[in-house]
Structure 1
Amino acid sequence: MALTEAILNLVQAMALGTAVALVVALVGISIWFIRGYVNDNKKKQHSNDLPNLPEVPGWPVIGNLLQLKEKKPHKTFSKWAEIYGPVYSIKTGANTVVVLNSNDVVKEAMVTRFSSISTRKLTKALKILTFDKCMVATSDYDEFHKTVKRNILTTILGPNAQKRHRGHRDILIENTSEYLHAHVKNCPLEAVKFRTICESELFGLALKEALGKVVESIYVEGLGITLSREEIFKVLVIDPMAGAIDVDWRDFFPFLRWIPNRGFEIKIEQMDLRRQAVMKALMSKQRQRIASGEEVDCYLDYLLSEAKTLSEKQIRMLLWEVIIESSDTTLVTTEWAMYELAKDPMRQDRLYQEIKSVCGSNRITEENLSQLPYLSAVFHETLRNHTPVPLVPLRYVHQDTQLGGYYIPAGSEIAINIYGCNMDKKLWENPEDWNPERFLDGKYDQMELHKTMAFGGGKRVCAGALQAMLISCTAIGRLVQEFEWRLRDGEEENVDNLLLTTHKLHPMEAILKPRN
C-alpha cells in the first residue's frame, strides 16, 4: 500500500535522521494544523449565508487516506456521495479536496466557475511525465493551452482534419476485420483476444497521425538498442499509463518533501528517459523523410513548419500526447462495448438487425452512423457505465468561489468524479445496469457527443471526442455486422478494472461465428 510505505519511509527517515529532522517534521505538522485552523476560520468568515461544506470524517494528519487505500477512489467517492451529498470535502494529508459527484455541479465547475478553478494540480509523477503540464490535457488554461489545442484540432482532431484522415480510420477497421476473419478460418473454436488486435491497430493509427508513418522497429541511440513495435508501445503507452497512477506519498505532505523517496523518483525518471529517447529517435527518423522532400499530413510536419515558438522538448511531448491518448481511451470503450454485447445476445441481435435494415448487404461506414440510433445508444451507454477516465486530473481553486451552493475557499483542490456523475441514482435509473435503451427516449439528438460527462465539458472539453466516437461506433457496428460474438466460458465473471482506470483487468476473450 502506498500509505503504508509512506508511514514506514517517514519512520525510517526519522529513526536514521538527526534531532533536526524530528524538529522540522514537528514544525511542519504544526504549520499544517495552523493553516487548517486559519482556513476553517476563513471559511466561516466568508461563507455568510452559504451552508457549510459537508466533510467526510478522517484521521488526524493523514485525513481520509486510509479510506482510499484500495486505489479505486472514484468508487469510494460515489459511496460517500450517497451519505454526504454530491459535494463534500475530504483531507488527503495536508490537502483539502472538494469532490464533485453530480452532473449539475460538475457543469457548474467546468463552465460557470471555470475562471476560478482552471489551474491544474498534478502529482509528482504527472509533473515529470507531462514535462510540467506541457500537454493539452494537463496544461493550465492559458495561451499555451489555447495555442496547442488549436494546433491539434487543426491538424488531427477537428472536423476538417477528421475528413482528411478518414483513410487511416478505414484501414484500421479493414485490418481488424481481416484479422478476425483469418482467426475464425484458422482457429474456429479458439477464443480471440480482442484487445491485442484493437490495441495494435489504434497504435498504428496514432503513429500515422502523429508522425506520418507506422514504425515497425527503430534503433534508439539514447538506449543503444533496436526496439520492435511492441516494445515501442510499451515504452510510450503501457509504462507511462502505469506511472501516471503511481503515488509519491510526499504529494500528500508537502511540508515533508525534504524526506527522500529515491526509489519512486528513480523509477519515474527512468521511465521518462526511455520515453524521451524513443520519441527523439522517432522524430529523427521522420525528419529524414521531411528532408528528402516527402510531405505527409501529420502532426509533426505541422508543428515543425508552423509552431515556431515551441521548444524541441515541447514538440516531443505534444506528439507523445497524441500517441498515448489515441491508443488508450478508445480501446477501453470499444472493448467494454463488445464485452457487453457478447454476453447479451438479444441486444447484440437488435443492433445487428438495425445495421442490416440500414446498410443491407453493404458494409457499415461512418456515413451510416447518423441513421443508427441503437448503435449510438450502445456507445454512449458504454461510456456511461464504463467511464474511460473516471477521475479528471485535480484542479486548483486559485480564488474564492462557490459550487453547489457551498463556499469553496482558494487553496482547495477540486476532484471531478466522472464515474460518480454517471452512476448518480437521481439521474440514471439502475445506473449499475448496462442498458442502451435509456438513450432512446428522445432526450438527446442522435449525434450529440456529450450525453454523459465522459468527455468533460466547457472550454476543456476533450479534443478527441469526435475521433473516439467515429472509430468506436464504426468498429462496434462492423464487428457485430460480420460476426456473432459469444464470451468464452467463465469470461462473464471477469468484470474487474485495473486500479485507478476502467481498463478491463482481464482482456476480453470471445468465440466468433461469421454471419451469413
Structure 2
Amino acid sequence: MDTLQLVQTQPYATTLALGVVLLFLVFWFTHKRSKLPSVPTVPGLPVIGNLLQLKEKKPYKTFTQMAEKYGPIYSIRTGASTLIVLNSVQLAKEAMVTRYSSISSRKLSSALQTLTSNKCLVAMSDYNEFHKMVKKHILANLLGANAQKRHRLHRQVMMENLSRQFNEHAKSSDLAVNFREIFASELFGLAMKQALGSDVESIHVEELGRKLSRDDIYKILVLDLMEGAIQVDWRDFFPYLKWIPNKSLEMKIQKLCDRRKAVMKALMNEQRKRLASGKEENCYFDYLLSEAKELTEEQISMLIWETIIETADTTLVTTEWAMYELAKDKSRQDRLYEELQNVCGHKKITEDQLAKLPYLGAVFHETLRKHSPSPTVPPRYAHEDTELGGYHIPAGSEIAINIYGCNMDEKQWENPQQWTPERFLDEKYDNTDLYKTMAFGAGKRVCAGSLQAMLIACTAIGTLVQEFEWKLGQVEVEENVDTVGLTTHRLHPLQVKLKQRN
C-alpha cells in the first residue's frame, strides 16, 4: 500500500515542484526587469494626456522643447496611448538598429492608413516579406547604385533645364525669381520620367471627366496628398470612440485617394499603350510589369506613386533650404564657389566630381541636419517588452523618433541652431558617408532614396552656385522663417535675385 501511495502521489509532487520552479523563474525575471526604471513621464491632463501641448502641427519642435526639461527619452500620453519620444542620436540608433526586432511595426494615423492603402509603400510598410520584396525592386530599378547610373541622363537633362531657365530670368529681369516654382517643376519632371518613362504634359482622366494639365497632375499627386497626410482624426487617440462618426475628415481623405487613383490609372493606361506599340523605356513602371508579377494592380499603382511623391518633395525641401542659407551667407557661398572653380575649372560640375568637393558635401549634410526634411519618423510599435537607454519599454508602447531633436541635441552638436557646414569637414566624417546625420534613418529601414537625394541636391547646388551669385529677394527675419506640411517645406517659396558669373 505504501508503494502504491508513493506511485500515486509522485506525479503530484513532480507537478508541484515544476510549479515552484516556474514561479521562481517568473519572480526572477520580473524582479530583474523591475530593476530597470520607467521612462520619465511628461505631466498631462486626465483622459487627454498631453494632446493640448501638441495642437500645433509641428510636434517635432514641441518634442525638442520637452527634451530640454525631461531629458532625451520620455513618455507622453496621447489619449489612450503611451508615446515614448526619443531625442538623441544614440537612442535613435538603439531603436533603429539594436532593438529593431522588438519595434519594427509601423503605427500610422487613420489618414496615413488610408492614403497609403494600408501601408502599401516601401517607406510606410511594416518590416515584413512585402517590405523586403518591394525594397528589392525599387533598389534594383530606381534607387540602387547601378540603377542611378542608368537614370543619370535624366538628371543631366534636369540640370540643363534648370541652368537655362535661371539664365533666361537673370538676363531678362532684375526682379527676384521664385526658386521653388522652377526647381519643383523640373524635379517633378524627373520623377515622372523615372517612374513612368515620360514627363506627361496633360492627360484625360475619365473618372474626373476632364483633361488635366501638368500642374493639375502635380497638385493631385503631390501637394494635396502631402497636405492630407497631416490631417488629424481625434479618434486615433481614443480607439474606444471609433464608433463616433467623423464623416467630414473621412470624406476629405477618401476624395484625395480617389483623385490620386484616377490620375494614376490614367497615367498607367497611357504607358500600357506605349508598351503595346512596342516601345519600352528605362522606368519603374516597365520594370514592375515585367519583374513583379506577384503585385496587384493597386500595389503597382501605389509603388509608382510613392516614387513620384518622394522624389518630387523631400529633395526639393533640402535644396531650397540650402540655397536659402547660401543666399544669405555670402562668405560661405564664395567659399563654395572657390572650391567649385578649383575642382571643375570652367566646366560644369558633374556627379563624378562630387567626392572631390568636400565643402559642397558639407553644405548638403549641414542643411539636412538643420532642416531635416522628415523631422519625425512615423511612429513604431513595441510588440514586446524591450529596453531603450536603460529604461524599461513595455509592450504596446508607441515609439516616436524625433529626427529634428536628434539633430538639435547640444550634447551632439555645437551651436545646433546655427547653419555651419564647416562642422562636417572634421576628419571624423568620411566624405563618402551619406549617414552623417539621422536624416536618412539607420539600420534595416535606412532610406532607400538617400543616394538619389545626394546626387540631385549636390549637383543642383553646385551648378547654381557655379553659374550665379545668389542674394535673397527680400529681407527675411530668421524667427519668421517657418515651415509647413508633413515635410519641412518653407512656409513661403524662396525668392532670390540672381547675377550671372563671368
User: CA–CA distance in 2 between the matches of 1:238 and 1:46?
Assistant: 51
Distance across 2 between alignment mates of 1:285 and 1:224: 16
Instruction: Summarize the alignment of residues 167-316 of structure 1 with structure 2, pairs less than 5 Å apart.
Output: 167-187=153-173, 189-316=174-301
Match of 1:514 in 2: 500
Q: Which residue of 2 aligns with 1:350?
A: 335
- List aligned pairs for 1:69-468, cutoff 5 A: 69-187=55-173, 189-468=174-453
Deviations 1:256-297 (A, max 9, x none): 000000000000000100000000000000000001000111
Residues 43-81 of structure 1 deviation map (CA, whole Å, 9 limit, x = unaligned): 997742112210000000000000111221101111111
- Name the amino acid aligned to 2:78: T
State the Cα distance separating 1:499 from its structure 2 match: 4.7
Whether contact under 8 Å (1:119, 1:395) holds in the other structure is: yes
2:474/2:495 contact within 8 Å kept: no
Task: Tell me if the contact between 2:377 and 2:403 (Cα under 8 Å) persists in the aligned partners.
Answer: yes
Q: Which amino acid aligns with 1:126?
A: L
Q: Which amino acid aligns with 1:379?
A: F
* Distance (whole Å) between structure 2 residues aligned to residue 390 and residue 44 of structure 1: 36
> 1:51: which partner in 2?
37
The separation in 1 between residues aligned to 2:466 and 2:481, in whole angstroms, is 25
**Within the alignment, does 1:502 sit opposite 2:488 as a pair?**
yes
Rounded to whole Å, the distance in 2 between the matches of 1:502 and 1:140 is 24
CA distance in 1, matches of 2:302, 2:451: 22
**Structure 1 residue 500, shift from structure 2 partner:** 4.7
Normalising by structure 1, what TM-score?
0.90
Q: Which has the larger radius of gyration?
A: 2
Q: CA deviation at 1:491?
A: 3.4
C-alpha distance in structure 1 between counterparts of 2:462 and 2:414, whole Å: 26
CA distance in 2 between counterparts of 1:167 and 1:176 reads: 14
Shift of 1:495: 1.2
Please say if residues 481 and 515 of structure 1, whose CA atoms lie closer than 8 Å, have aligned partners that are also in contact: yes
Residue deviations 1:322-350 (CA, integer Å, cap 9, x gap): 00000000000000000000000000000
Q: Structure 1 stretches of 5 or more lacking a match?
A: 1-42
CA drift of 1:490 comes to 2.1
Does the CA contact (< 8 Å) of 2:227 and 2:485 recur in 1?
no
Amino acid at match of 1:162: Q
Note the alpha carbon deviations across 1:407-431, whole angstroms, 9 max, x for none. 1011000000000000000000000
Q: Is the 8 A contact 1:491 1:509 kept in 2?
A: no
Give unmatched runs, 5+ long, in structure 2: 1-28
The amino acid across from 1:241 in the alignment is M
Letter of the aligned partner of 1:103 in structure 2? Answer: V
Whole-angstrom distance in 1 between the partners of 2:38 and 2:292: 47
- Normalised by the length of structure 2, the TM-score is 0.93
Q: Deviations over 1:440-496 (max 9, x none)?
A: 111111121000000001000000000000000000001000000000132354511
8 Å contact from structure 1 (residues 343, 492) kept in 2: no
> Cα offset for 1:502?
1.2
Q: SS in structure 1 opposite 2:74?
A: strand
Choose from 456, 462, 467 the match for 1:477.
462
The one-letter amino acid of 2:481's match is V
Q: Distance in 1 between matches of 2:474 and 2:299?
A: 48
CA contact (8 A) 1:491 1:508 kept: no
For 2:305 and 2:189, how far apart are their aligned partners in 1?
Answer: 13
Residue in structure 2 matched with residue 12 of structure 1 by the alignment: none
Secondary structure at the counterpart of residue 485 of structure 1:
strand
Give the 3-state SS of the residue equivalent to 1:280 in structure 2: helix
Distance 1:419 1:430 in 2: 14
* Cα distance in 1 between the residues matched to 2:217 and 2:477: 32
Distance in structure 2 (CA, Å) of the matches to 1:300 and 1:358? 38
SS of the residue corresponding to residue 187 of structure 2 reads: helix
- Please say if residues 222 and 309 of structure 2, whose CA atoms lie closer than 8 Å, have aligned partners that are also in contact: yes
What is the DSSP-based 3-state SS (H/G/I as helix, E as strand, rest coil) of the residue aligned with 2:483? coil
Query: In the alignment, is the contact (CA less than 8 A) between 2:57 and 2:230 conserved in 1?
Result: no
* Counterpart-to-counterpart distance in 1, 2:55 and 2:143: 37
The alignment status of 1:488 with 2:458, answered yes or no, reads no
| Deviation >4 Å, runs of 4+ | 43-46
CA RMSD of aligned residues (A): 1.1
SS at match of 1:57: coil
Equivalent pair of 1:125/1:247 in contact (CA under 8 Å): yes
Equivalent position amino acid for 1:287 in 2: R
Aligned length in residues: 473
Q: Which amino acid aligns with 2:383?
A: H
- The amino acid of 1:481's aligned partner reads Q
Question: Which residue identity does 1:132 align to in structure 2?
Answer: N
CA–CA separation in structure 2 for the residues paired with 1:307 and 1:206: 20
SS at match of 2:377: coil
Query: Could you tell me whether the CA contact under 8 Å between 1:73 and 1:500 is conserved in 2?
Result: no
- Code of the residue aligned with 1:334 in structure 2: it is T
1: CA distance between counterparts of 2:256 and 2:458? 34
Work out the CA distance in 2 between the residues paired with 1:487 and 1:473. 20
**CA distance in 2 between partners of 1:361 and 1:302 (Å):** 39
SS in structure 2 of the partner of residue 328 of structure 1: helix
